[in-house]
Amino acid sequence: MALEIVRIPVLSDNYVWLVHEPESGETMAVDPAVAEPVLDEAQARGWTITQIWNTHWHPDHTGGNAAIKEATGCTITGPAAEAERIPTLDRKVAEGDSVSLGIVNAQVLDVPAHTAGHIAFHFPTERVAFVGDTLFAMGCGRLFEGTAEQMYSNMRKLEALGDETRIYCAHEYTQSNGRFALTVEPDNSALVSRMEKVNAMREAGEPTVPTTIALERATNPFMRAASVAELAARRAAKDAA
């Protein structure tokens, strides 16, 4: 793998991902909620942040943009459809665009529903995707600005990235997502087994992400929903839980 990916826990349950491409020396922060821990982690590793990539406009994904840019002069890339809500953007992208970190290229995917212009970044050669709040371990984002039909389409689009693709989401929601998943599929042996491992990891204070498409196909009630209506019903039930 050509990229070094570092997890930075911030706020109550957010993860900022610091991504380093050694050949060029470029370093990128994905969805920096806050600046200081991200700058500190980069400095501790001798890395200079040259880019920020935002998946959507929510403040717990963009709150560190301005201070990191002021400190480093980095370039900020994010969703064209949400540019008015992310005033720090330098480059506006949408599906079909490609972005690069040093010698490694990523494809931009449109994955609206959590927010109207939400995007994801997929590195095909690395089998890595940064998905913001669209797909979580055993969950998906709330439908704040979009529809169940859009989220169902997102699940198909992300599923198509392939079983080995590692999914870097932005929150540690796995345990609560898994509890809900068990109410949907209590007899899913893969899910029961996964939750035993997740509970042990959380008890030990360990993170449970990244995940993989294979794991989500086996245990995620939203990716496993057989129709838009089923996904909508599951999302409504999770929201009410």
User: Would residue 61 show up in a list of annotated catalytic residues for this protein?
Assistant: yes
3-class SS of residue 116: coil
- Sign, CA torsion 114/166/168/209: positive
Instruction: Report how many helices (DSSP H) and strands (DSSP E) the chain contains, helices first.
Output: 8, 14
Here the tokens at position 11 are: 């706020």
The predicted pLDDT at position 161 comes to 98
Instruction: Name the catalytic one among 20, 31, 60, 118.
Output: 60
Instruction: Name the catalytic one among 20, 56, 118, 122.
Output: 56
- 141: CB partners within 8 A, 6+ apart: 113, 114, 118, 132, 133, 134, 135, 151
pTM, to two decimals: 0.97
State the Cα–Cα distance between residues 62 and 73, nearest whole angstrom.
16
User: Would residue 171 show up in a list of annotated catalytic residues for this protein?
Assistant: yes
Instruction: Name the catalytic one among 20, 31, 114, 122.
Output: 114
The predicted pLDDT at position 143 comes to 98
The predicted pLDDT at position 241 comes to 86
- 12: CB partners within 8 A, 6+ apart: none
The predicted pLDDT at position 220 comes to 98
User: Would residue 122 show up in a list of annotated catalytic residues for this protein?
Assistant: no
Instruction: Name the catalytic one among 20, 118, 122, 171.
Output: 171
Instruction: Name the catalytic one among 20, 61, 118, 122.
Output: 61
Instruction: Name the catalytic one among 58, 110, 118, 122.
Output: 58
Q: Give the pairing of strands 139-140 and 104-110.
A: unpaired
The predicted pLDDT at position 2 comes to 87
Backbone angles phi, psi at 44, to 5 degrees: -60, -30
State the Cα–Cα distance between residues 90 and 17, nearest whole angstrom.
20
Instruction: List the pLDDT tens digit at each of the 241 positions of the chain.
Output: 789 999 999 999 999 999 999 999 999 999 999 999 999 999 999 999 999 999 999 999 999 999 999 999 999 999 999 999 999 999 999 999 999 999 999 999 999 999 999 999 999 999 999 999 999 999 999 999 999 999 999 999 999 999 999 999 999 999 999 999 999 999 999 999 999 999 999 999 999 999 999 999 999 999 999 999 999 999 999 999 8
Beta strands in 54-102 (DSSP E): 75-79, 91-93, 98-101
Q: Give the pairing of strands 211-212 and 166-169.
A: antiparallel
